Homo-oligomer: A and B are copies of this chain.
Amino acid sequence: MSDTAARSDMNSWQAVQEEALRRIRSRQWRPGELIPNEAELSQELGCARATVNRALRNLAEAGFLDRRRKAGTRVALHPVRKATLDISMIRQEIEGKGQAYSYLLLSSGLESPPLDVRVRLQGPADQQQLHITALHMADRRPYAYEDRWINPQAVPEAMTADFEAQSPNEWLLVHVPFEGGSIAFSAKTASQMEAEILACPPGEGLFVIDRATWSKGQVITQVRLIFHPGYHMHTEL
């Protein structure tokens, strides 16, 4: 009964994954330890190697295992949990909560970007950028302040877009496909101006998202979103 052979077969990849997780959690497979290779496991568990592969690959993506050709598969030394956040349009985020979305364009025009924006741009030094500021509202109350720079070289159509009707957030998502980007989350203390825009006391701690997106090696847009006090972003593990 305590033998390693002939377990009741588990021929779904989910079952194999569960079994592997069980062995990790029960310390039958210890952190850093080499586990049996795919061929052995498939034989032991009574399924095809591809099934084992799917299960272990999945666990590796989730951070539980480290896999390398020839070196084999090991239990991850430091379990790094991965949380996935859904980044959607602000309009959807608000409407998804059952609130009414509205939007106000605050300013729009060509400007020379400040140093921090220019650094990230990596483009020619003294080029002007389209600078747009706007306010997103939920049930007529301030929700998020959008401060955006758009590279007119990468997106010339943006120069003639009507950002009164549609926020740059949405316009860009629909009109400009992008390949990659970076996101940063942080907090900041509300300045006098931000406090006025978001209708909160100055000095309040506000949640901030900075995002840059690029395509074909060019930076398309950079944006800072500053959210109203009390905003929080959450996800499951």
Q: Chain A interface (Cβ within 8 Å of chain B)?
A: 24-25, 63, 78-89, 92, 173, 177, 180-190, 203-208, 210, 213, 227, 229-237
Contacts and interface: CB of A to CB of B under 8 A. Distances in A.
Given A83-B84, A182-B237, A183-B237, A188 B213 contact: no
A230 B189 CA distance: 10
A231 B208 CA distance: 11
A110 to B, nearest CB: 27
A186 B237 contact: no
Nearest to A204: B189
Number of copies: 2
A78 to B, nearest CB: 6
A187 B173 contact: no
Nearest to A234: B184
Given A79-B173, A173-B79, A205 B187 contact: yes
A236 B173 CA distance: 17
B187 A234 contact: no
Contacts of A182: 234-237
